[in-house]
Structure formats: structure tokens, C-alpha cells
Structure 1
Amino acid sequence: MEKRIPAPLAEVVHSCLADKFSRNEVMPDDHYFFRVISGEVKIVLSDVTQVFGPGDTILLPRRQLSTVIQYPKDNQPYQCVLIIFKHERLKDYYSRNRAKEQTALSTAVRSYAKHPLLESYFGSLIPYFDLPDGLPEKILALKIDEALTILRTIDECVDAFLADFSEPGKIDLASFMEQNYMFNMPLKKFSYLTGRSLTTFKRDFINIYGSTPQRWLTKRRLKLAHDLLSENKQKPVEVYREVGFENLSHFSYAFKKQFGYAPKEIL
């Protein structure tokens, strides 16, 4: 079940997954600001995994590659209230509120402890989801402004994310791929994040690795899967999604083709 405060761009959402388990690779085009009501959410980055539960408030910056896993906990469904900070909203806000000058931070998930301003804000949103006609645009705009003002009050560094309207520039392809190969995304997304067209991305990739991106990604993901199975004693059903495969049967087939034995034979 998902309720939205009706808006042209669905900027405020109440999500409830009931008994469902949800896992998605995401690279949001906008900043996601959300409060977990019940259940748990696991956010997997290239170098760290974080788990959040009821009462936790999280900011997932735009263009942050991550795997987001949402699931029930303690007989409660996963529920959250999500505010999406759209590009145009942010530009309008910062045209009226000067951003603090600071050194840009590396992109990462930011989390916030309970705070009276956050408790009051999210508590005020819940009743709005029952309005039959939704919030008027002017009130929605005020609630978005309020969220941004609260964030800037409790996090002095957040402007480095929210006030950054730049597009990704050309970066070192090899370093980026070694850090993010496990994320199951279209090549077009990988090329965009490295500041390249898809054609240039494929050409540069072959020049660096002597292989097509698809073949390299499969081989690299299978190596990671082998390590997780043999060293961490994880089960194939726990591993295949973590390393970027969409289903267990494809993973098992590719694994056996690569190593000569099935994933379950390692255990």
C-alpha cells in the first residue's frame, strides 16, 4: 500500500509494504528524505552497509548508488514517510535562502537521531494522507520548505548536498567501476555517472580492461560471489542479489559456467 499527498511530482509519499520484502538498486535523480515508521531498511553502499529502524530519519542524496532493502520486522510491516526534494524545488528554495559556503562532501547516506524538530515535522504529515483532495500546492510547498529548513538547522553540512546542482563530470572509470560493479544498473547509468556518453563509456572500458563491460561485470560479480560463499559462508540465495544478479537460476548457471561447480557445492 502506498499513499501519496497528491502533487504533480508525487513529492510526499507514505509507503507500506505489508508483508512484502523489497530490494532495489537505486540511483535517485533527486534527494530522498524519509522517516522509518516500522520495519527495517538496509542501505548497501559500495563500502558500507547500514540498517535503520523505527524512528530513524535518513537522507539519501541524489546520484548515490545503493541497494535499498526494505522488510517487515517484529510483526510490523515496513512503513516510511518519504519526501522527495525535486531539483526545481531546491533551486527555488536556495534562490531565497543563501547556501552556506563549505567544502563539498563525498556523497553518502546521512542519518539523524531523534530531534524535536523532526518529531514535530513527521507527526504533522501523517494526518494529511487522509485528506480526500490532497494538499493544496501552496501548503505542500510550505511543508517542503519546512523540511529543508529543519535539515539545515540540525545538519550544518547538508548544503553541500542540497545546494549542489552540478552534473557529474568525467571521472576515472576504473576506480568507479571497481567500487560500484555490484550494483545492477543499465550501462547507460554507469556511463552517466562517469561523465561519458554510452559510446565513449564502452570504448574507454575496452581500452582499460580489454573486455566489454557486460563480460567484465559478470566475471567480477561472480568472483565476489565466490568470496562471499567461501569466506563468509553465506548461502546462494543470500548472495546472488547482493552481487548484482536478478535471479537465482541465472546466477547459478553463470557461476557453474565460470567455476565448474554449482554455488551450493562450496558450502
Structure 2
Amino acid sequence: MEYQGAPIKGNIFLSCSKQTHYSREVILSQHALLHVFDGELRVHNGTAEKVYHSGDTVLIPRNYLCRLSKYPVNEKPFKSISILFPEEQIRKHFEPNTGKKHSGHLTIAPHPLLESLFSSLLPYFDMHEELPADLAAIKIDETMTILKKVYQPTSEVLATFDEPGKIDLGEYMEQHYMYNLPLEKFGYLTGRSLTTFKKDFKHIYQTTPGKWLTQKRLALAHYQIFVQKKKVTDVYLDAGFENLSHFSFAFKKQYGYSPTNNK
């Protein structure tokens, strides 16, 4: 997640965004539990989108590629708290999951124990000093104890320690091409080295990953701007481009006219 500049207490993070729309792709090295206090959170996994509001909680698995979009509501900044789960702590609570595995993010039903837990964490962010590591570990243990008690399916996510295995490359790329990731990361998520990823990609698409990704992202942006009538500033990030100037240059080179010619 985007914890650059966010208040951090051990593996516990507070996110507060005043922007009208904040969006970026996420891929975590640890499982994370996110609770929304204010605003609206949208989780998009390439094929579907789930919307979360104040009071909602979602568990996001490690190595799960998705996009988080945050919106203020009723002039209140978006505000959430997130808890990361180190593997060594998970293993103290869960046996490795060798059975059914949950393949996506998991919505956690409201429960008084969870509400009390999240409320108890907020005062820590009024502290100027770092939260002691042993206290942060206690709160993470408490979180897992509650999850294990009130929502059993969490074990299908938290107790999964496997690295990504080799999967269908074409299907994965068609679902996730709009995410701005290095090719090495796409290779890792599909169970391949960078060399094997490029080789398999060329075999499927008869072109390089870079050219294919650019064309797919521009086609998506073109549709959103000229058919769905979305603003250019609301499109370029979600289409996988790092900045507006790069997007505008690539768009004009591809189509011969500026993306702003959609009036």
C-alpha cells in the first residue's frame, strides 16, 4: 500500500487523504487488514470492483494485485487504518493452509470485537514517539485472535504462505495489463523469471510486453475518454500511466490527436 508519508506504528498504518480521488495499484509482501473510518474505498482486481464505506473492513492477501481508490465523502477526508501480518506471527495462530485457498480480497463482516480493536488503535497515532515493537506485536496478535474467533474463512487467506506458482500468462495479463508494474513483478506474479516471462509472452502475443502493454492501456484510456466521457485527469493513472505528460505524449503518438479532443 502507499505508506509513504503515512503515520506508521510498527506494522500498523493510518491513512488520511484529503484528495478528491487517490488511486494506485497495490501488491503487498504481507497480508493486510484495512478498516475504513471515513470516506469510500474501491478495490478493483482487474475484473470486478468492490466498494467499501465507513465501518467496513477488508482483508487483502499478500501478492494480490489490485487497485485501491480512495474518495472523501461529505467533505470528510478518507481515513483508514491498516494492519500488516508478519508471517512469523501468523504461524503462531494458524497451521499452514493446505486445503481451500481464497483467491481474492475478503470482506470481513462487522463485529463489536473488531470495532473495539480499531478504535483502540487510533490514540497511538497521537503519539510522537514510535510504538514499542512488543506492543505492536500484541495488537497484531489480538487482531488475529479476533479474526480466528469471529470469521473462520480468514484462515484461507492468512494461513497461505505459498509463493506464486506458474499460471496462465495470457489470462493474467488480459486481466491486469492496466496495472503499472515492472516486468519483473509481472513475471513473479505469474510464476516466471523475467527471461521466461518475456519468452512466453512473445510466444503468445508475437510482440514485446512493453509494446503490448502500451497499446492495451492506450485503448482502454481512449474508450474511457471518448466513449464514457471521463476526464483525462481521472483516466491516465487508472490506465497504467505514471504521469499525465507521458500519457498525453503516448496517446497523441498512437492516435494522432490529443486526449483532450473529446469535447
TM-score by length of 2: 0.89
Task: Please give the residue correspondences for 1:1-267 in structure 2 after superposition, counting only pairs within 5 Å.
Answer: 2-5=6-9, 10-19=10-19, 21-94=21-94, 98=95, 102-106=99-103, 108-131=104-127, 133-267=129-263
Shift of 1:88: 2.2
- The residue identity in structure 2 corresponding to 1:13 is F
- 2-side partners of 1:45 and 1:112: how far apart? 17
Query: Deviation of residue 254 (structure 1)?
Result: 1.4
Counterpart code for 1:39 = G
* TM-score, normalised relative to structure 1: 0.88
Superposition deviation, residue 58 in structure 1? 1.5
Mean alpha-carbon deviation: is it higher for 202-211 or for 130-139?
A: 130-139
Contact 2:24-2:67 at 8 Å conserved across structures: yes
| Percent identity of paired positions between Structure 1 and Structure 2 | 44
1:187-246 CA deviation, whole Å, 9 max, x = no partner? 111010011111111121112111111000001111112222233222222211111111
Unaligned runs of 5+ in 2: none
User: In structure 1, what residue type is equivalent to 2:6?
Assistant: E
CA distance in 2, matches of 1:19, 1:26: 18
Shift in alpha-carbon separation, 1:136–1:212, aligned structure 2, 3 A: same
Which string of whole-angstrom CA distances, capped at 9 and with x for unpartnered residues, describes residues 66-107 of structure 1? 11222332222222111111222212332xxx467742222x
Q: Alignment RMSD, CA only? A: 2.1
CA distance in 2, matches of 1:175, 1:100: 26
Contact (CA 8 Å) 1:32, 1:62: kept in 2 or not?
yes
Partners of 1:218 and 1:132 lie apart in 2 by 44
How far apart, in 1, do the equivalents of 2:141 and 2:200 lie?
42
> Is this contact kept in 2: 1:14–1:80, CA < 8 A?
yes
Contact 1:11 1:85 in 2 (8 A): yes
Contact 2:97 2:160 in 1 (8 A): no
Q: Which amino acid aligns with 1:217?
A: L
Taking the aligned partners of 2:248 and 2:142, their CA distance within structure 1 comes to: 49
* Cα displacement (A) at 1:15: 2.5
Task: Tell me the matched-pair count.
Answer: 259
Aligned-partner SS, 1:170: coil
- CA shift, 1:2, in A, is 3.5
Change in CA separation of 1:136 and 1:211 when aligned onto 2, cut-off 3 Å: same
Q: In 1, distance between residues paired with 2:128 and 2:248?
A: 49
Instruction: Structure 1: give runs of 5+ residues left out of the alignment.
Output: none
2:24 and 2:237 in contact (8 A); partners too = no
Of residues 238-247 and 222-231 in structure 1, the stretch that sits farther from structure 2 once superposed is 222-231
CA distance in 2, matches of 1:207, 1:260: 30
Deviation at 1:155, TM superposition (A): 2.2
User: Counterparts of 1:151 and 1:183 in 2: how far apart (Å)?
Assistant: 30
Deviations 1:132-168 (A, max 9, x none): 6554444332221211122222322221111011101
Contact 2:36–2:55 (CA under 8 A) maintained in structure 1: yes
